[in-house]
Each structure stands twice: as C-alpha cells, then as structure tokens.
C-alpha cells in the first residue's frame, strides 16, 4: 500500500482529505463495529423513515406540481393570423430562415408526429391486449384485480400521447390551429399522414 502511495496512487481515504498512515486505518473493536451497524436505531423514527429522502421527495413533488399548474409558455416566434392560420412569412422571419426552410421543417415535424402517434398507439394497443389477457386468464384475486386497475393510467397515457401527436399532425396538415373537437369531427381524414 505504501509503495502505491509513493508512486502517486492514492486510496479513497487520502483522496477524501483524511490523514494517511497507520493511525487512520486502525481497526475498530468488536463493540464499535456492532454499535456502528445498529447505530441507526439510536437515531429515532425520523432517521429510520429516511427524513432526508422524504424531504427531497416532497420537494420534487412540489416542483412537479408547480410545473403542471403553471401555464406553458408558447413560443412567441411562431406567428398565426386572426383566423388561426399559420403565418409562414412572419414565422420564417422571426426564426431567421426562409419560408421554404420553414415549410421543410413543418413537413419533417408532420412526419415525426405521424410516427410518434402510430408508435404510441401501437404500444397502447399491445398494452390493452396484454391487459385484457391478464385480466381474463389469471385467477381473480384482490391483488390481481388491483394490478389490472393500476395499469389503466399507463394505457391512458399512451393513448393520450397518440391523440396529441395526431392532433399536431392535423394542425400541420391544415396549416392552422384546430381544436380537438374539430379534429375528431373532420371529414378530411382522421389518421395522421
């Protein structure tokens, strides 16, 4: 160990600022080792529960709640006219690109939203198939039924992602903003292209 330290290799204790040498590496007694292993018992229920991890988890939940409650800022550079149509010339100018480049990017985004929508729909349909299979095939116990109900939000999430991207695809195809009711009642074609 000393030969390694002489060659520039340090151990973890030396890297952490602790003193080197035999005094720092003295062995604990049997009672000291036993008390160290059960020392968390002396801390009390707050330490047993994981006070620091609970506090950080609560802060994370608070931040996420704040983000869901605050309105998402729309990009002010994307311009629409009074009727809700995309103003491509003003938008291209505000982004510092040509109208043709903006149209190419909108076409790329339309293709991306189509792929994302179909992919999320495929995953949701696979999930529904496995969900129905597990709900029907397995014995009816309370735990099994709870698992079936707990899986529904994930299916709803994938279906909402598919719907949202299909709506974006519809808006890009029309080159104007459109609501979900107009999207569902369209005669032009429901599925993304």
Domain contains 129: yes
Which range marks the domain in which residue 8 is found?
2-37
Sign of CA dihedral 23, 27, 33, 35: negative
Dist CA 190 CA 117 (whole Å): 12
What's the number of domains the chain is made of? 2
Q: Are residues 102 and 176 in the same domain?
A: yes
pLDDT number for residue 112:
93
pLDDT number for residue 74:
67
CA 23 to chain centre: 48
Q: Are residues 105 and 178 in the same domain?
A: yes
Domain contains 25: yes
Place of tokens 């005669």: 187
Q: Where are the alpha helices (DSSP H) in the chain?
A: 2-6, 12-15, 30-37, 45-49, 51-69, 88-95, 99-137, 142-174, 180-184
pTM attached to this predicted model: 0.57
Domain contains 88: no
pLDDT number for residue 5:
47
Dist CA 155 CA 152 (whole Å): 5
Domain contains 193: no
80 DSSP β-pair partners: 86
pLDDT number for residue 99:
86
pLDDT number for residue 14:
47
pLDDT tens-digit profile, the chain (193 residues): 444 444 444 444 444 455 555 554 567 777 777 766 666 566 666 556 666 677 777 888 888 888 777 766 666 667 777 777 777 788 788 888 888 998 898 899 889 999 999 999 999 999 889 888 877 877 778 877 787 788 888 888 999 999 999 988 888 888 877 878 888 887 776 667 6
- CB of 155 within 8 A of CB of 128? yes
pLDDT number for residue 142:
82
Tokens of 142: 């309370």
**Length, in residues, of the chain:** 193
pLDDT number for residue 9:
47
**Residue 58, C-beta contacts closer than 8 angstroms, at least 6 positions apart:** none
Domain contains 76: no
Domain contains 134: yes
Q: Are residues 32 and 105 in the same domain?
A: no
């Amino acid at each position: 160990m000393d030969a390694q330290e002489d060659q520039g290799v340090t151990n973890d204790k030396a890297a952490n600022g602790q003193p080197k040498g035999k005094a720092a590496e003295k062995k604990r007694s049997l009672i000291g080792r036993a008390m160290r292993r059960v020392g968390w018992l002396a801390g009390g229920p707050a330490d047993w529960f994981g006070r620091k991890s609970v506090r950080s988890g609560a802060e994370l939940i608070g931040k996420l709640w704040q983000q869901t409650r605050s309105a998402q800022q729309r990009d002010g550079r994307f311009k629409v006219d009074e009727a809700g149509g995309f103003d491509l010339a003003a938008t291209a100018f505000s982004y510092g690109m040509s109208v043709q480049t903006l149209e190419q990017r909108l076409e790329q985004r339309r293709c991306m939203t189509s792929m994302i929508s179909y992919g999320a729909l495929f995953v949701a349909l696979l999930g529904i198939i496995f969900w129905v299979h597990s709900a029907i095939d397995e014995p009816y116990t309370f735990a099994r039924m709870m698992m079936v109900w707990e899986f529904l939000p994930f299916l709803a999430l994938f279906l909402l992602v598919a719907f949202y991207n299909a709506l974006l695809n519809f808006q890009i195809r029309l080159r104007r903003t459109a609501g979900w009711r107009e999207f569902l009642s369209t005669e032009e074609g429901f599925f993304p292209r």
